[in-house]
Amino acid sequence: MAHVSDLIATDIESYLAAHEQKELLRFITCGSVDDGKSTLIGRMLYESHMLFDDHLAALEADSKKVGTQDGEIDFALLVDGLAAEREQGITIDVAYRFFSTEKRKYIVADTPGHEEYTRNMATGASTADVAIILVDASQGVLTQTRRHSFIVSMVGVKRIILAVNKLDLVDYSEDVFNKIVSDYHNFADEALQLDEITAIPISALKGDNIVGPSENTPWYNGQSIIEYLESVEVSSSAQSRPFRMPVQWVNRPSREFRGFTGLIGSGIVSPGDRIRVLPSGTESVVERIVTWEGDLEMAGAGRSITLTLSDEIDISRGDIITAADNPCSSADQFQSRILWMDESAMMPGRQYLFKSSTQTTSMTLGQLKHRIDVNTLEELPAKVLDMNEIGVCNISLSSRIAFDPYDEDPTMGGFIIVDRITNNTVGMGLIDFELRRADNIHWQSMDVTKKSRAEQKSQKPRLVWFTGLSGSGKSSIANILEKKLQAMGRHTISLDGDNVRHGLNRDLGFTKADRVENIRRIGETSKLMVEAGLICITSFISPFESERLMVRNLVDSDEFVEVFVDTPLEVCEQRDVKGLYAKARAGELPNFTGISSPYESPNNPEIRIDTTQISAEQAADQIIDYLSKA
């Protein structure tokens, strides 16, 4: 059997060039496992002969190899190949199929139905004009049906084909069809923001109502799947929205040419148009629209171009070129809807990377406002989001970004969330609106600075961050260190884990989410102490690398000193001064670091201390020696 990619995955550029004059429709197939997605796509290709001639020839050759008569295309072979190719690409992203009819060209996002790959489905839906939601007639509307429907609605798909599949298994029952349609409308009409739901009874395996009407459903007088796709109006809203182009590359091959390359996200642009660059707010006028084929008099959404401007202004990758008379906004705090995609739960208070179009910055997730139950659409209280859960929360960015609300412009309102440690994409989000305080709160410059406070104390401000297991000796060493520094005339402050939980953090428990928030608050407090010119000494288990990195980034790079008290777990248990390990082993202390909750050891701490080899006094001297030289 030839590899399916040789049959289906054509060169995109040559495909689009060959069908340049046809309208393009993007759609997605989704639904629960075994609802028939691959069979439906295979049937559409098979029945309507939408494959190119060379693909047909390849399939015919394959059919001869497996013994089909007269070299006919083998439907089962095609479907098996489509399913195999998609399954091979599950861990990468989405399998995209490109095909054409006499009227239109199509791109279909073929996504897996497994719950753990909901993120793939969300990726495919983000650019779709239509979603085909498949429902197995013998199973009815399932949780995954509701989840996929909610997500396609959330990312802006307004037209749904409710394809009630496998009707042949229920004797083409009109009652079964009507019951499923009624159940789906009861769910969708209540809260999903859809313009249109078109229910079609089908059997992808038998070909009923895929290309034309079926004799097996005389009670149905509507369109087939292909008839609907051929006639549905293709959205042109991207062209009608204000001009937006994220800058991907500053092109300067010579002194005479300086252009700004990017993909137009929305709107149109022409030479002579006045533009504004965000977030700087600088304005200029478009001089040329440059492409490989030559200069253009106009370019619209979806076109990759290079703009030259009449003025020499500062523009970098990540900036957004917008229409001067209708620019987007800029802010650094938002309410957003988030779909979490990672096996590790979303942690409010933890820092991640925020990526939108070409813009990248640090992001801190605020407390969840609520989680959305995809079955009932109820807004439920929650502290974290687990994989495939959807919630609403505020986010705070370290720098302002250019944006439009997602419902107004998906290009400028969508973003992904990236783990700072693993660099994995862990979530996707949609901006609802900027928070009013983002514009009302401004940094107040003060005449007395960190530098002048430090000079007054004749010392360099530092944040000495002790980390290690409970019982490792952090607090003992920190106590001795502070006494020695005070004896040297240094100005210090100590923040200890247990002490802080008596006041500032007394409302926090020991769940993973509360531990993240505990360290976030301590980090911000420690930053204020460093701003005061002090040597701030902290003693916290701080088990997660991401939180320690977050605190490190709050102060200048030479101000943070991570001290890893690297005492083995068995030694800590032997000491067990507070009796905590014994309680944890007995199951009386859940989420105890080292026993029922992980500790992520630092990879490159400034100082590593082995308390099995040196005393607490010697450890303090080692730290003072480092501070004196650094």
At residue 506, the 3 state secondary structure works out as coil
8-state DSSP, 413:
H
Residues whose CB is less than 8 angstroms from the CB of residue 227 and which lie 6 or more positions away in sequence, other chains included: 211, 212
Q: Which of 38, 526, 542, 597 is catalytic?
A: 542
8-state DSSP, 56:
H
Residues whose CB is less than 8 angstroms from the CB of residue 310 and which lie 6 or more positions away in sequence, other chains included: 284, 285, 286, 287
Q: Which residue has the tokens 């862990």?
A: 426
103 sits in the region (left: phi over 0; alpha: psi -120 to 50; else beta) called alpha
CA dist list (Å): 536 to 154, 204, 242, 568: 46, 67, 50, 26
- Do the beta carbons of residue 226 and residue 210 sit within 8 Å? yes
The Cα 517–Cα 347 span in angstroms is: 8
Write out the DSSP string of 414-463: EEEEE-TTT--EEEEEEEEEE-THHHH------SS-HHHHHHHHTS--EE
- Do the beta carbons of residue 262 and residue 304 sit within 8 Å? yes
The Cα 551–Cα 549 span in angstroms is: 5
Q: Which residues of 344-375 are buried (b: 16+ CB within 10 A; e: fewer)?
A: ebbbbbbbbbbbbbbbbeebbbbebeebbebe
- Across the strands, what pairs with 372? 379, 390
- Do the beta carbons of residue 404 and residue 326 sit within 8 Å? no
* C-alpha closest to that of 268 among 305, 234, 239, 309: 239
* C-alpha closest to that of 359 among 402, 306, 422, 395: 402
- Do the beta carbons of residue 329 and residue 404 sit within 8 Å? yes
CA dist list (Å): 275 to 144, 193, 283, 406, 413: 44, 33, 6, 22, 20
The Cα 236–Cα 151 span in angstroms is: 22
- Across the strands, what pairs with 429? 338, 415
Structure tokens at 323: 């229409």
- Do the beta carbons of residue 409 and residue 328 sit within 8 Å? yes
Query: Up-side HSE of residue 526: CA atoms within 13 Å toward CB?
Result: 33
Query: Up-side HSE of residue 155: CA atoms within 13 Å toward CB?
Result: 28
The Cα 148–Cα 187 span in angstroms is: 12
* C-alpha closest to that of 609 among 562, 575, 569, 571: 562
**399 catalytic per annotation:** no
Q: Which H helix or E strand runs over 622? A: helix 616-629
Which is it for strands 268-269 and 244-246: parallel, antiparallel or unpaired? Answer: unpaired
- Residues labelled catalytic: 542
